Amino acid sequence: MSLAVAELRVPEPAAQTVDLVALFRESTVGEVLAELDRDLVGLTPVKTRIREVAAQLLVERARETLGIASGAPTLHMCFSGNPGTGKTTVAMRMADVLFRLGYIRRRHLVSVTRDDLVGQYIGHTAPKTRDVLKRAMGGVLFIDEAYYLYRPENERDYGQEAIEILLQVMENQRADLVVILAGYEQRMETFFQSNPGFRSRIAHHIAFPDYDAAELLAISEGMLARMHYRLDPEARAAFEDYLALRIRQPNFANARSVRNALDRARLRQANRIFAEAMQGAGPSSSEALTLLSAADIRASRVFNTPPSRPA
C-alpha cells in the first residue's frame, strides 16, 4: 500500500457507550422491584413482566442518551385478573417505576371507576372525565372494572362519551399520562372487542393469576403479623381447612376474601375474650389478645356451607 493511500484513510470514531448498570442504580428502580418481591406473595409472572417492562424502559433511556431513541414509548397498560390479586398494588408500584425512570413527572396514581367518569345526564360526562384526567395528568390513571364504561344494552348510556375523551387523551397526551385499565380477564377481552381503539393504544397486557392455598396462607400470616395477631398450630390448621373450602365457593376474591375472613375471626376472638372476662377470667394477657384460636376460625359458616364449584 502506498503512503498516499494510507494517508487518505480516516480512523473511524470510537463507538459511544452507556453504562446500563450505572443507569439502573441511579434510577433506584431496583428498590421498587425489591419491594414487589418482598411485599407481594406469589404473582411470579406479573413480577417477571414488570421487570421486563422496567428493563425495556431503562434501555430506551440509554438509547436516548446516545441520540438513538426510537420515540416516546406507548406505556398504557391492561391488568386483567380476578379481584384481590394485587392489581391496584402493582399499579402503584408501576407508577413508582415510571417516575424513577423519568417517564412520568409526578409520582402519583389516581384510581377511579365508571362513576367517577360517567355522568347521569347530558353534558355531565365530559366535565367529569376531564376533571379526572386533569388530576391524573403527569402520572398514572388507574381505571378499575373498566369494562363498565361500555354498556351496549343501554342506548342512552353516556359511557361512550367518556371513552372517546379517554382515547383522544391517551393518544395525544401519552407523553404526560399513563392509563392502566383493570378488570376481569374475560370481560376486558369483550370490552376490547367492542372498543378496538383501546386495544390499539395498550402496549402491555399483564394477566394476574389467582393465588393458590399456600400463597393465601402466607398472605394471611403477613396480614396478621402487621396487625399484631398470630395463629397457633391448631388455628393455622383450621385456617388451611377454611381456605380449602372457601376457594371452591362462589364470589371468592383471593386476598380480599382472606382479609375479610381474618376480620371476622378477630371479631369472634374479641367477643370470646370479652365474654371470658365478664365471667371472671381476670385480666387478659398480651398472648391472649394477640392469638386467634382454632375455635375463632372454625366458627365460620364456611365450614357448614357445601362448596358450589369444583376445586
* Predicted local confidence at residue 52, as pLDDT: 92
* Predicted local confidence at residue 311, as pLDDT: 38
Whether residues 201 and 97 share a domain: the answer is: yes
Per-residue pLDDT band for 306 (boundaries 50, 70, 90) equals low
The structural domain count of the chain equals 2
Q: Is the pLDDT of residue 6 over 60?
A: no
How many C-beta atoms surround the C-beta of residue 70 within 10 A? Answer: 8
Whether residue 228 lies inside any domain: the answer is: yes
Q: 242 with 303: CB under 8 angstroms?
A: yes
Per-residue pLDDT band for 8 (boundaries 50, 70, 90) equals low
Whether residues 81 and 147 share a domain: the answer is: yes
Whether residues 177 and 281 share a domain: the answer is: no
* Per-position DSSP letters for the chain, written without gaps between them: --HHHHHH--PPPPPP---HHHHHHHHTHHHHHHHHHHHS-S-HHHHHHHHHHHHHHHHHHHHHHTT---SPPP--EEEEE-TTSSHHHHHHHHHHHHHHTTSSSS--EEEE-HHHH--SSTTTHHHHHHHHHHHHTTSEEEETTGGGG--TT-TT-SHHHHHHHHHHHHHHTTTS-EEEEEE-HHHHHHHHHH-HHHHHH--EEEEEPPP-HHHHHHHHHHHHHHTT-EE-HHHHHHHHHHHHHHTTSTT--THHHHHHHHHHHHHHHHHHHHHHHHTT--SPPHHHHHEEPHHHHHTSGGGGS--SS--
* Predicted local confidence at residue 69, as pLDDT: 72
* Mean pLDDT across 102-129: 90
* Mean pLDDT across 290-305: 91
Supply the range of the domain harboring residue 294.
213-304
Q: 46 with 208: CB under 8 angstroms?
A: yes
Whether residue 196 lies inside any domain: the answer is: yes
List pLDDT tens digits, range 152-206. 776 677 888 999 999 999 999 988 999 999 999 999 999 998 888 888 899 999 9
Q: What whole-number distance in Å separates Cα of residue 103 and Cα of residue 73? A: 9
Q: What percent of the chain has pLDDT over 90?
A: 61
Whether residues 145 and 269 share a domain: the answer is: no
Whether residue 230 lies inside any domain: the answer is: yes
Whether residue 153 lies inside any domain: the answer is: yes
Q: What whole-number distance in Å separates Cα of residue 42 and Cα of residue 264? A: 25
Beta bridge pairs of residue 141: 110, 179
Whether residues 180 and 270 share a domain: the answer is: no
Whether residue 65 lies inside any domain: the answer is: no
Grid cell, residue 268, equals 369472634
User: Which of 97, 60, 94 lies closest to 78, judged by CA?
Assistant: 94
User: Which of 33, 169, 29, 18 lies closest to 99, judged by CA?
Assistant: 29
User: Which of 90, 85, 92, 87 lies closest to 110, judged by CA?
Assistant: 92
List pLDDT tens digits, range 210-232. 999 999 999 999 999 999 999 99
Whether residues 195 and 237 share a domain: the answer is: no
* Mean pLDDT across 139-158: 86
Whether residue 309 lies inside any domain: the answer is: no
Q: Is the pLDDT of residue 3 over 80?
A: no
Average pLDDT, the chain: 88
Q: What whole-number distance in Å separates Cα of residue 116 and Cα of residue 131? A: 9
List pLDDT tens digits, range 56-99. 989 988 888 888 877 778 899 999 999 999 999 999 999 999 99
Q: Which amino acid is at 293?
A: S
* Predicted local confidence at residue 19, as pLDDT: 82
Specify the higher pLDDT residue, 1 or 115.
Answer: 115
Q: Is the pLDDT of residue 310 over 90?
A: no
User: Which of 12, 158, 47, 35 lies closest to 100, judged by CA?
Assistant: 35
* Mean pLDDT across 305-309: 60
Q: 62 with 23: CB under 8 angstroms?
A: yes
Whether residues 179 and 241 share a domain: the answer is: no
Annotate 11-24 with b (16+ C-beta within 10 A) or e (fewer): eeeeeeeeeeeebb
Supply the CATH number for residue 223's domain: 1.10.8.60
Supply the CATH number for residue 105's domain: 3.40.50.300
Whether residues 152 and 239 share a domain: the answer is: no
Whether residues 82 and 168 share a domain: the answer is: yes
List pLDDT tens digits, range 242-294. 999 999 988 899 999 999 999 999 999 999 999 988 888 778 889 989 999 99
